[in-house]
Amino acid sequence: MNESKHGDLGTFIRQQRERANLSLRRLADKADISNPYLSQIERGIRKPSAEILKSLSRALEISANSLYKRAGLIDEELAPTSVFEAIGADERLDTEQKKVLLDMYRALSRINGTVTTEKQE
Amino acid sequence: MNESKHGDLGTFIRQQRERANLSLRRLADKADISNPYLSQIERGIRKPSAEILKSLSRALEISANSLYKRAGLIDEELAPTSVFEAIGADERLDTEQKKVLLDMYRALSRINGTVTTEKQE
DNA sequence: GCGACCTGCTTGCAATAGTTAGCAGCTTGC
DNA sequence: GCAAGCTGCTAACTATTGCAAGCAGGTCGC
């Protein structure tokens, strides 16, 4: 009955996987699920349980929350957390690297037009 | 992977139900699930899917998040938000731009010594 | 006593989540 | 050519979820 909702989830997962440069099998391995099943999830054929989602969130290094939200399992808004904030808080980057990345981000989002990205910090 | 965490979940749900002064049937009704199934969940015999949990959280008027945490489906605290995730969730960037930015991020953090994602050769 | 109404629990059964084995296609090297 | 190595997908299966139907026990008024 809810196919479109979960189709969207699958697409999201596939996008995240591709961004992480992982093949279907590699992600499946990392998340301890079978690769055909992951394939079916991404195409919206199967609807993963929350445990599977949790594994996937860990394997993809994104918060379980954002995945659940995408899956329609959480309605509430919780962590809007901007890219600015996230970069600023990242411990792996030094100050200069943060600056580079932020410049990049600003440039990209400006190219894309549509928005008033005045918010800078 | 997560075996014993669910006994605790059932107890928690039963506590919440009793706190709300609802009978098993009334809560089941409210959450649109069958009463035998709710019974089994509360006794830890069955392990509810996230959709069921969501229904229950609404019926019990508690946040989905607290239930998921109780169910062991969320480990993290609520604002770990990685750069990875923030970029992925950003609506100002299109897919290609996200990829670029993430590549950049990976490269930078790799230089710095810590590795974010698995190797990709 | 006996229905009518609750309470929570047990028992099959249908639907579907998740698995293993294997297929087709596309590169890269011999 | 063709074997070895990936890529994602299909098919056939098992395991588990979630259900409808019904059971045992309690409490009420009659």
Outline where DSSP puts E strands in chain B.
none
The distance of Cα A12 from the centroid of its chain, to the nearest Å, equals 7
Per-residue confidence (pLDDT) for residue A50, from 0 to 100? 84
Which amino acid appears at position A107 of this protein? A
Token couple for B49:
């899917």
* Residue A90 confidence class, pLDDT cut points 50, 70, 90: confident
pLDDT at B33 over 90: yes
Per-residue confidence (pLDDT) for residue A19, from 0 to 100? 87
Token couple for B10:
């059932």
pTM: 0.66
State how far the Cα of B81 lies from the Cα of B62, in Å rounded to an integer: 23
Cβ pair A81:B76 closer than 8 A: no
Per-residue confidence (pLDDT) for residue B1, from 0 to 100? 34
Per-residue confidence (pLDDT) for residue A40, from 0 to 100? 95
Instruction: Please name the member of B71, B88, B112 whose beta carbon is closest to the beta carbon of A16.
Output: B88
Of the listed ranges A89-93, B26-30, B58-62, B102-106, the least confidently predicted one is A89-93
Q: How buried is A115 (Cβ within 10 angstroms: 0-12 exposed, 13-18 middle, 19+ buried)?
A: exposed
Per-residue confidence (pLDDT) for residue B72, from 0 to 100? 83
Q: What angle do CA B41, B45, B50 make, to 5 degrees?
A: 45
Per-residue confidence (pLDDT) for residue B90, from 0 to 100? 76
Cβ neighbours of A73 in B, within 8 Å: 50-51, 53-54, 64
Question: Using one digit for the tens of pLDDT, what is the confidence trace for B91-116?
Answer: 777 777 777 788 788 777 766 654 44
Q: Are A49 and B49 in contact (CB under 8 A)?
A: yes
B48: nearest nucleotide, CA–C1' criterion: D17
C-alpha torsion angle, residues A84, A90, A94, A98 (rounded to 10): -20
The C1' atom of D19 and the CA atom of A95 lie apart, in whole Å, by 58
Question: Using one digit for the tens of pLDDT, what is the confidence trace for A3-47?
Answer: 344 438 899 999 999 988 999 999 999 999 999 999 999 999 998
* Residue A96 confidence class, pLDDT cut points 50, 70, 90: confident
Cα separation values, A83 from A12, A116, B7, B103, B105, Å: 18, 15, 38, 15, 12
Q: Which nucleotides of D are covered by protein (CB under 7 A)?
A: 6-12, 16-22
What residue of A is the nearest CA neighbor of B75? Answer: A64
Question: Using one digit for the tens of pLDDT, what is the confidence trace for B47-87?
Answer: 998 889 999 999 998 888 888 888 888 876 655 467 777 77
State how far the Cα of B43 lies from the Cα of B14, in Å rounded to an integer: 9
Question: Using one digit for the tens of pLDDT, what is the confidence trace for A48-80?
Answer: 888 899 999 999 988 888 888 888 888 765 554
B37: nearest nucleotide, CA–C1' criterion: D18
Per-residue confidence (pLDDT) for residue B69, from 0 to 100? 84
**CB proximity A107 to B under 8 Å:** no
State how far the Cα of B85 lies from the Cα of B47, in Å rounded to an integer: 29
* Residue B5 confidence class, pLDDT cut points 50, 70, 90: very low
